[in-house]
Amino acid sequence: MLGEFYPWEAILTARAEPAAPADEHAVLELMAQQVGTGAARLAERWWRVQPEAFTVLRRRDGGIEGLMVLPRLTEGPLPVPGDPVARAALAWSREHRPLGPGEQIVLGRWLVGEASHPATHGSIPLTCRLTLCGTTTPGTALSYTVLPEGDLWAPVLSFAGHRRLPELTDVDGRRRTPFVFDWQETPPREWLRIMEDRQLERLRPVPAGTR
């Protein structure tokens, strides 16, 4: 089913890897070009407090063509108090799924460049990394991912069990669509089983006369 959205033949043209200290200028420049100066200033603040949150999509020549920013949030003061999306994620958690001791939210804060559209090759390794953060990071209670084109991403994320929430306003007045997944309600092992069943269901032939 995911092949309907992803151009798998292009997956080997770039790789997702943690951003290096030397990538800071290129990362913030890409943010300013693709998302705006307000977002770039906010990203710089995240870089200062959680540089490990930045994953780049690196071409074979070493250039950066895409970016994913995945900060971690815990109950308590926000690492970047002026971030409206982080504030919204924590508010949603407090109302619907309060964090316990040692639990955290993986915040899918930005997908930039070749990662920003489900039909581009760059979205494949980065969305895989987003999923891995939820399934392999100890203490992850929620994934809260915001995207600028919710209608385009909804089929992919809905298939993966993410719940779509009402739009919110980001920096510079930009609108974003949040998608949330509760990893405590559906633990990683159970999620993998569900995804396998859904994939197999899509592969089963449709009986004649039922189309």
By the 8 A CB rule, do 29 and 19 touch?
Answer: no
- pLDDT score for 9: 41
pLDDT digits (tens, 9 = 90+) for 69-128: 999 999 999 999 999 999 999 999 999 999 999 999 999 999 887 545 544 444 455 555
The residues pairing with 16 across neighbouring beta strands, listed in sequence order, are 57
Residue 211 lies in a domain: no
- Percent with pLDDT over 90 in the chain: 49
- pLDDT score for 207: 59
- pLDDT score for 106: 94
- pLDDT score for 196: 75
Residue 209 lies in a domain: no
- Percent with pLDDT over 70 in the chain: 76
Indicate whether 1 pLDDT > 50: no
Residue 94 lies in a domain: yes
Q: CA–CA separation, 97 vs 4, rounded Å?
A: 33
Read off the pLDDT of each residue in 157-181 and give the average, rounded to a whole number: 90
Question: In the structure, what pLDDT confidence band is assigned to residue 208 with cuts at 50, 70 and 90?
Answer: low
Domain of residue 31: give its range: 2-203
Measured on CA atoms in the order 190, 193, 197, 199, is the torsion positive or negative? Answer: positive
Give the DSSP H/E element, type plus range, for residue 168: strand 168-169
Q: CA–CA separation, 46 vs 53, rounded Å?
A: 8
Residue 32 lies in a domain: yes
pLDDT digits (tens, 9 = 90+) for 31-74: 999 999 999 999 999 999 999 999 998 888 888 988 899 999 99
By the 8 A CB rule, do 141 and 182 touch?
Answer: yes
Residue 105 lies in a domain: yes
Instruction: Quote the number of domains for the chain.
Output: 1
CATH number at residue 157: 3.40.630.30
Q: CA–CA separation, 62 vs 23, rounded Å?
A: 10
- pLDDT score for 177: 94
Residue 210 lies in a domain: no
- pLDDT score for 170: 95
pLDDT digits (tens, 9 = 90+) for 175-188: 999 999 998 887 77
Residue 30 lies in a domain: yes
